[in-house]
Amino acid sequence: MHDIRAIRENPAAFDAALSRRGLSGLSSQVLALDEARRAKILAAETAQAAQNAASKEVGAAKARGDDAEFERLRALVAETKAEMAQLNEAAKADDAALRDLLMSLPNLPAADVPDGADESGNVEIRRWGTPRAFDFTPLEHYQLPAVQSGMDFETAAKLSGSRFVVLSGAVARLQRALAQFMLDTHITDHGLTETWTPVLVKPEMMQGTGQLPKFGEDSYETTNGWWLVPTAEVTLTNIVHGETVAEASLPRRYVAHTQCFRSEAGSAGRDTAGMLRQHQFEKVEMVSITRPEDSAAEHERMTRCAEAILEKLGLPYRTVVLCTGDIGFGATKTHDIEVWLPGQNTYREISSVSNCGAFQARRMNARMKPADGGKPDFVHTLNGSGLAVGRCLIAVLENGQQADGSVELPEALHAYLGGKTRITADGTLA
């Protein structure tokens, strides 16, 4: 959410920043609501003062036996009281409308975010690894003989519908190994705190991180009003919801492995083959809570944490900074990490690492108490996949495929698989 005081002080700068996202002239709408709200509040305060003065005079008129003045003043008090109630209700309605408007507006892009209308405007900032040269035509993950018996879309469709999968045997064990490897790396090498959180949350938690109210159709709501999390970003970030934390406790760096749920409402017809885009999937999610002055450096640090997972697995990737037309609703700057998928002969997103600045913190009312005793300020929040487990599974399978239909597995995973190094063409670990 945005700071109304900053909009009042520099509406032109606010409009200029939002115009980079394709939105124009919104400060006038915001300020009109704000001015109407403030005018009603002032009128209510004026009416309150008049009521207080008249109430004092009522007693004086009664004491001196001036019945006519007494009745006039008593009627004035009643009239002013009714007027004040109406003004307060109107101000409350304006306040709600202003909050709804501010909650619907995306974060302002950082100054160094490139301009662009869509993903074609994203800018590559680095690559790692060289895509393997195959002496045969590489297959997509779901076509590999090694996974045919362990990746069952038909049974999943019978159980739940489209965009679900049942994993079994070697493939299921490989996915579990990947999640464990990611957690261990982030905890041991990167100093993140392992966290286990619920996957059902209250609506105000979804509001805090920006999934609600605007993107409700992208997630699943239960019949009792809880929401299934689209990512552990929701729970990890909201740990500081409504709190004022000590500056000395920052940064807080969390990591969690959870099931995630997305309706994929805006992706009809996209990536329907295989398990690239599912309604239910696993992610290892990183979240950092920092001092405002530290968030830019923390963004780079978190990006490197995600990249390190791919490097340990020997998976080629590229990292891009998203342009203004592709950046997410709550982010001020985002790095996407894209892993090489030989079956598609292209790079595909496997992690988004975003700095949200104070945008989420203002929605959550999450603040930091400075060590020097100064005025509390909003913390900065960051989140990123470290990594999407299913997509990493796809990348491991496709990059490790062999001409005989088997899959060679990364050395970093061998210890998590009981010393096994490959999945044979018939789907067993060997």
Task: Tell me whether residue 55 is annotated as binding.
Answer: no
Supply the DSSP symbol for 273. S
DSSP-based helix, strand, coil % in the chain, nearest 5 = 45, 20, 35
- DSSP at 79: H
The answer to the question of whether 285 is labelled as a binding residue is yes
Closest CA to 275 of 422, 139, 151, 171: 151
C-beta of residue 302 within 8 angstroms of C-beta of residue 353: yes
Ligand-binding site membership of 221 (annotated): no
Dist. CA 53–CA 183, nearest whole Å: 67
The reply to whether 262 sits in an annotated binding site is: yes
| End-to-end Cα separation, the chain, in angstroms | 52
User: Is 350 part of any known ligand binding site?
Assistant: yes
Joined tokens for residue 35: 């001015």
Specify whether the CB–CB gap between 245 and 289 falls below 8 A: yes
252 carries a ligand binding annotation: no
Residue 220 contacts residue 251 (beta carbons within 8 Å): no
Determine if residue 304 is labeled as part of a ligand binding site. Answer: no
Helix ranges (H only) for 135-290 are 153-159, 169-188, 203-209, 233-237
Contact between residue 378 and residue 358 where contact means Cβ atoms under 8 Å apart: yes
Question: Is 349 annotated in some ligand binding site?
Answer: yes
Pick out the residues of the known binding site for L-serine.
231-233, 262, 285, 383, 385
Pick out the residues of the known binding site for ATP.
262-264, 349-352
Pick out the residues of the known binding site.
231-233, 262-264, 285, 349-352, 383, 385
